[in-house]
Amino acid sequence: MKKEMRKKYILEYAKKYFSSRGYYETHIEDIISDAKIGKGTFYRYFKNKEELFISLLVEFLNEWEDFVFKDLLSIPPANYREFMHTLVFKSLTFFRTYEDLCNIYLRIAPGLSTIFGPYINSFEDKMLGHFKNVIEDGRAKGYMRDNLDLEFCSNVIAGAFLRIDYYYFVLRYKNDTSLNVHVLADRLIDVLIGGLGSAEWRSMTSQLENSPADPQR
Amino acid sequence: MKKEMRKKYILEYAKKYFSSRGYYETHIEDIISDAKIGKGTFYRYFKNKEELFISLLVEFLNEWEDFVFKDLLSIPPANYREFMHTLVFKSLTFFRTYEDLCNIYLRIAPGLSTIFGPYINSFEDKMLGHFKNVIEDGRAKGYMRDNLDLEFCSNVIAGAFLRIDYYYFVLRYKNDTSLNVHVLADRLIDVLIGGLGSAEWRSMTSQLENSPADPQR
Amino acid sequence: MKKEMRKKYILEYAKKYFSSRGYYETHIEDIISDAKIGKGTFYRYFKNKEELFISLLVEFLNEWEDFVFKDLLSIPPANYREFMHTLVFKSLTFFRTYEDLCNIYLRIAPGLSTIFGPYINSFEDKMLGHFKNVIEDGRAKGYMRDNLDLEFCSNVIAGAFLRIDYYYFVLRYKNDTSLNVHVLADRLIDVLIGGLGSAEWRSMTSQLENSPADPQR
Amino acid sequence: MKKEMRKKYILEYAKKYFSSRGYYETHIEDIISDAKIGKGTFYRYFKNKEELFISLLVEFLNEWEDFVFKDLLSIPPANYREFMHTLVFKSLTFFRTYEDLCNIYLRIAPGLSTIFGPYINSFEDKMLGHFKNVIEDGRAKGYMRDNLDLEFCSNVIAGAFLRIDYYYFVLRYKNDTSLNVHVLADRLIDVLIGGLGSAEWRSMTSQLENSPADPQR
DNA sequence: TATGAATGAGCTTTCATTCAT
DNA sequence: AATGAATGAAAGCTCATTCAT
C-alpha cells in the first residue's frame, strides 16, 4: 500500500534529523524536502510535529520489545546464563542497530519531558519491569542475591546498559570501529554477575576472574 | 556587590526554567518576568540565551568538582572503603542538592549537542577520569579486580550513578520523601564491590550479603 | 505568473517607503500592511530587508541603462548634437519617471555605504563610463575640447545632471508642475556645450547665446 | 570653560562616527565610550540623538559660510576672476578640510529628510543664494552670459561643486594622494567660464583653451 | 554634577500550520 | 489526493533614553 510506504519514508527522514539535530532544530521543511513530498502531504500523515515525534517514540518502544524480548520470552534459553547472555547481547545489538531511534529516545526525548514525559515513563516502566522479572527469576533459581532491593538493582542494570550504549555507540563508536559487541556483552555480564549474582553463581563463574576479561566465544 | 547578586538572581530563575521546561521551551520572557527585571537588563548580564545556558553548564561543572572532589582529594579518607563511601555519598548528595543543575546537565543539555557539545564532553571526560583514578587506586591497593577494562568499568560506574540519580531524584523523588541517601549509597557500594571488587575485598565484606541490604550506619 | 506579480507588488510599496522615509525608517510592517500580505509572505519573496533594498538598487541600475542607453546606443542619432540632446533628455525624463527609484539611489543609499557600497560604486562606474565615452566620441568628432581631463569632465556632467534631477524633481518638483523637461534639457546642453564644447562647436551654436535661453522646440 | 570643551569633544567623536557609519549605525554608546564620558553625561549636553546630529548640521552651515564667504565678502578680491578663483578654491579646500562634516551633510543627512529636511533645505537655500549672487554680480559686470536662468545655473554650479567634492574627496581621495586642490579649482573655473561666462570673458581667457588644462599658478 | 544600570518599545525574523488550488 | 504559497503568533535581541545613586 503506497500510503504506508510514504509514511515510512517520512518516519525514516524524521528519525535521521531528530537524532542528529534534536527536536527543535529539526524542521518539517527538512524532512519533507528530503522525503520529496509537499508540506500539505506531510500533514495528511501526521497531525503535527509532536505526533510525528511520538510515532518515533512508539516505534522505539515496539522495536525494542520485539528485538530484545520477543524471542527471548517465547523461546527461553536453555539456562539462566544463556538467558542473561542473550539479554545483554540483544540489548547492545539493538542499541547499535537502531542507533537513531535510540539516540532520539535516550538523548533527545528526555529534554522534552513536558510534552513527551508519558512516553518516556512508559519505556522506563517497561524496561525496569523486564529487568525486575529477570532479577526475580534469577533469584528464584538461586542465581541472584536475594538481599538486594529489586527496584534499585533494576536501575543499576538499566544505568549500566544505557551508559554503555551512550558511551560506546553514541559518543565514541565512530572513533573505534574495532568495537565488538560480544566483548562488551561479556564484560557487562561479568560485572553484573559480580555485583548482583549470588555467591554460588559467582563461584561457578569465578574462573573468569583470573582469565582474560574478554574470553573467546 | 549588587551586580553579582543580580546575575545570580537571573541564573537562579533560568535554572528553574531550563530544568523544568528545557532549552527551547524556556523563554527569556519567562525568566525576566519572574526575576522582575526588564528585558534589556537581562542582556546586560548575558550576551544571549546561549551564553546564559552555558553559564549554567559551567556552574554545574565547577560545583560538581568542588562538592564531590575538593575535600575528598585534599583530605583523603582513612581507608579505601571510607573513600568509596564518601565518593558515593557525596555524589548522590550532590545530585539531590543541585537538582536543577543536574537536570539541565544530564537531561536537557545532551539533546542540544551541536552547540553545547564541548561542555558535555568536558564533564564526561572529567567524570570518567575521576572514576578511572578511583579504580586504578583501588587496584593498586588490592581492592579492585585487575582483569577489568578501565574505560569500560568507569562507564559502568558512571552509568549506575547517573541512573540512580535520574531515577530517584529526577523521576521519583517527589513521590518518595522517605528516600535516604545513606541507604542508596550503601546499596550502590555493595553492588560496586560485588561487580568490580577483588575476591579478597568481597570476602571481607561478604557478611553484608546475609545481612539486611540497608544496614544501620 | 502570479508569483512575479506579488513580488512586484512588494517592490512597489517598498520603493514608496524607502524613497520617502529612508532605509531605517521603513519597516517591513509598513510594507506588508500596505501590500496587504502576511509577514511570512514577505519573507518568502525576500531573504531579508537588506535583500529587498538591494533588489531596488539593482532595479534602478537596470532600468537606468535600459531607459537611457539601450536605444541611444543601438539606434545612434543622426548627429552628435542630436545624440547629446537625446542623452540629456532621456536622462532627465528617467529621473522624472522613476522618481522613487532615483530617490533611493541618489539620496537614501549613499548614506548606507557600509552595506550597499558596492551597488553605488557600480552605478558610479557605469555612469561615469558612459559620460567618458560621450566626451571621447565628441572629441574625436571635433565637438569637444581636447584639453580637458576626461575623468574630471565626466564628473562635472554627472554632477550637473544629478543636481538638476535632485533640485527639480526631488526638492522642488511638487511645487512647480509647469516644469518642462525639454526646457531643462536645452538649458543643460547649452551650458555643457559652453563648458566642454570646442570653440568650433560653440561658434556653431553661438546664435543660442543671444536668443531666449528656452527656445521653442 | 570645561563644559564647552566637553561638548566639543562629544561633537568631535559624533562627527567621526556619523560620517563613517551613518546616522542609524552610529550609537550613542560608540560616541561616549570614545569620549570617555558616561551615558547620563551625554544627555546633559544634548537632549537626544537628533539634537546631536542637528548640532553637526548647524556646525557645517556655520563653518561653511565662515570658511568660504566671510573673508570673500568682507575683503572683496581685486577683480571678478580673482573672486571666482577664491570662491572655487575655498569651496574645494573646505570640502577637503571638513571632510567628516561634509560627508555628514552631503551623504548622510539627505537620506534622513523626514527629520532633518529643514536643515538640508536651509543649506540648499543659502548655497544657491550665494551662487545666484555670484552669477548676478558677474552678469552686472559683463562676465556672465545674461540669457541663462539664474536658478538653473546656480544649480549647475552647485552640482559641479558637490560632485567634484564627492568624487575626489569622498570616493577617491584616499587612493589618489597626488590630488592638488589648485588643479581642481582651475579646471572647474575653466569649465564654468566656458559654460556660464559671457563671450567676452571667454575670449579673455581663451588662451587657456590651447594651453594645458592645469596651468602653472 | 556625573554616572551607568535599568528599561521596554519596537524591530527583524522564524516556522508550524492552514487552505485554496 | 497532493501541493506549496500564505499566514501570523511569537521569539530573540537592540539601543535611545531615564533615573537612582
DSSP secondary-structure letter at B145?
-
CA distance C57 to chain D (A): 15
Least confident stretch, A56-70, C192-206, D31-45, D138-152: C192-206
**Protein CA at D19 to nucleotide C1' at F18, angstroms:** 28
Residue D208: pLDDT band with limits 50, 70, 90: very low
Low-confidence residues of chain A, pLDDT below 70?
Answer: 1, 113, 172-178, 204-217
Residues of chain C contacting residue D166, judged by C-beta atoms under 8 Å apart: 159
Q: How far apart are CA B39 and CA B29, in angstroms?
A: 7
Q: Say whether pLDDT at C199 is over 80.
A: no
Residues of chain A contacting residue B153, judged by C-beta atoms under 8 Å apart: 191
Mean pLDDT (chain C, rounded): 84
The whole-number pLDDT of residue D214 equals: 43
Give the torsion sign (CA, A91, A97, A99, A104). Answer: negative
Protein contacts on strand F: list nucleotides below 7 Å from a Cβ.
1-20
**Nearest CB partner across the interface for C159, out of D153, D162, D199:** D162
Q: How far apart are CA B192 and CA B184, in angstroms?
A: 12
Measured torsion, CA atoms of residues D14, D19, D21, D26, in degrees rounded to the nearest 10: 20
β-bridge mates for residue C144, sequence order: C197
Which protein residues, judged by their CB atom, are less than 7 Å from any atom of strand F? A 2-3, 6, 37-41, 43-44; B 26-29, 39-40, 43, 48-50; C 2-3, 6, 36-41, 43-45; D 24, 26-29, 39-40, 43, 48-50
Which chains pack against B, by 3+ Cβ pairs within 8 A? A
**Protein CA at B18 to nucleotide C1' at F13, angstroms:** 19
The whole-number pLDDT of residue C72 equals: 86
Q: Say whether pLDDT at B212 is over 70.
A: no
Helix (H) or strand (E) holding C210: helix C207-210
Residue from D167, D200, D201, D209 to probe the interface with C (highest C Cβ count within 10 Å): D167
Q: Say whether pLDDT at D57 is over 90.
A: yes
Partner-chain contact D206 C184, CB within 8 Å: no
Mean pLDDT (chain D, rounded): 85
Partner-chain contact B194 A197, CB within 8 Å: yes
Question: B with C: 3 or more CB pairs under 8 Å?
Answer: no
Which of the two residues, D217 and A2, has the higher pLDDT score?
A2
The whole-number pLDDT of residue C198 equals: 74
Q: Which three cell numbers stand for residue C208?
A: 543660442
Q: Which three cell numbers stand for residue C96?
A: 522624472
Helix (H, G, I), strand (E, B) or coil at C197: strand
Of B47, B67, B58, the C-alpha closest to B15 is: B58
Per-residue burial over A178-209, b if 16 or more Cβ lie within 10 Å, else e, is eeebbbbbbbbbbbbbbbbbbeebbeeeeebb
State the maximum Cα–Cα separation within chain B, in Å, rounded to a whole number.
64
Phi, psi dihedrals of residue D144, rounded to the nearest 5°:
-110, 145
**Nearest CB partner across the interface for A152, out of B114, B158, B187:** B187
**Could you report the per-residue pLDDT of D115-162, keeping only the tens digit for each?**
788 888 888 888 899 889 888 988 888 888 888 888 889 999 999 989
Helices and strands, number each (H, E), in chain B: 12, 0
Query: Could you give the percent of chain B with pLDDT greater than 90?
Result: 37
Assess A163–B contact: CB distance below 8 Å, yes or no: yes
Residue from D23, D56, D105, D112 to probe the interface with C (highest C Cβ count within 10 Å): D112
**Protein CA at C39 to nucleotide C1' at E12, angstroms:** 10
The whole-number pLDDT of residue D198 equals: 74
Partner-chain contact D195 C192, CB within 8 Å: yes
Q: How many CB atoms lie within 10 A of CB D87?
A: 23
The whole-number pLDDT of residue B33 equals: 94
**Protein CA at D16 to nucleotide C1' at F20, angstroms:** 32
Assess B33–A contact: CB distance below 8 Å, yes or no: no
Q: 62-121 in A: which are within 8 Å (CB) of B?
A: 107-114, 121
The whole-number pLDDT of residue D22 equals: 94
Q: How far apart are CA D169 and CA D147, in angstroms?
A: 33
Tell me the mean pLDDT in the region B169-177: 64
Which of the two residues, B28 and A170, has the higher pLDDT score?
B28
Q: Say whether pLDDT at D18 is over 90.
A: yes
Least confident stretch, B175-184, C58-67, C91-100: B175-184
- Rounded to 5°, angle at Cα D211 from D205 and D213: 85
Q: How far apart are CA B4 and CA A111, in angstroms?
A: 29
Q: DSSP secondary structure string, chain D?
A: -HHHHHHHHHHHHHHHHHHHH-STT--HHHHHHHHT--HHHHHHH-SSHHHHHHHHHHHHHHHHIIIIIIHHHHS--SSHHHHHHHHHHHHHHHHHHTHHHHHIIIIIGGGGHHHHHHHHHHHHHHHHHHHHHHHHHHHHTT-B-SSS-HHHHHHHHHHHHHHHIIIIIIISGGG-TT--HHHHHHHHHHHHHHHHB-HHHHHHTTHHHHS-SS---
Partner-chain contact D197 C194, CB within 8 Å: yes
Nucleotide nearest to A40 (CA to C1'): F3
Helix (H, G, I), strand (E, B) or coil at C144: strand
Residues of chain D contacting residue C166, judged by C-beta atoms under 8 Å apart: 159
Q: Say whether pLDDT at C213 is over 50.
A: no
What is the Cβ-side half-sphere exposure of residue D85, based on CA atoms within 13 angstroms? 10
The whole-number pLDDT of residue A209 equals: 42
The whole-number pLDDT of residue C64 equals: 92
Q: How far apart are CA A14 and CA A96, in angstroms?
A: 19
Residue D203: pLDDT band with limits 50, 70, 90: confident
Assess A174–B contact: CB distance below 8 Å, yes or no: no
Question: D with A: 3 or more CB pairs under 8 Å?
Answer: no
The whole-number pLDDT of residue B172 equals: 63
Tell me the mean pLDDT in the region D186-194: 86
Partner-chain contact C214 D149, CB within 8 Å: yes
Residues of chain B contacting residue A124, judged by C-beta atoms under 8 Å apart: 171
Residues of chain B contacting residue A184, judged by C-beta atoms under 8 Å apart: 152
Partner-chain contact B147 A192, CB within 8 Å: no
Q: Which three cell numbers stand for residue B197?
A: 571488587
Which of the two residues, A175 and D13, has the higher pLDDT score?
D13
Partner-chain contact D195 C199, CB within 8 Å: no
Tell me the mean pLDDT in the region B26-31: 96
Sequence-distant (6+) residues with CB within 8 A of B118 are none
Partner-chain contact C21 D159, CB within 8 Å: no
**Nearest CB partner across the interface for B108, out of A111, A156, A214:** A111
Highest mean pLDDT among A79-88, B44-53, B86-95, C107-116: B44-53
Residue D174: pLDDT band with limits 50, 70, 90: low
What is the pTM (predicted TM-score) of this model?
0.86
The whole-number pLDDT of residue A173 equals: 55
β-bridge mates for residue B4, sequence order: none
The whole-number pLDDT of residue A67 equals: 94
Assess C22–D contact: CB distance below 8 Å, yes or no: yes
Phi, psi dihedrals of residue C66, rounded to the nearest 5°:
-60, -55
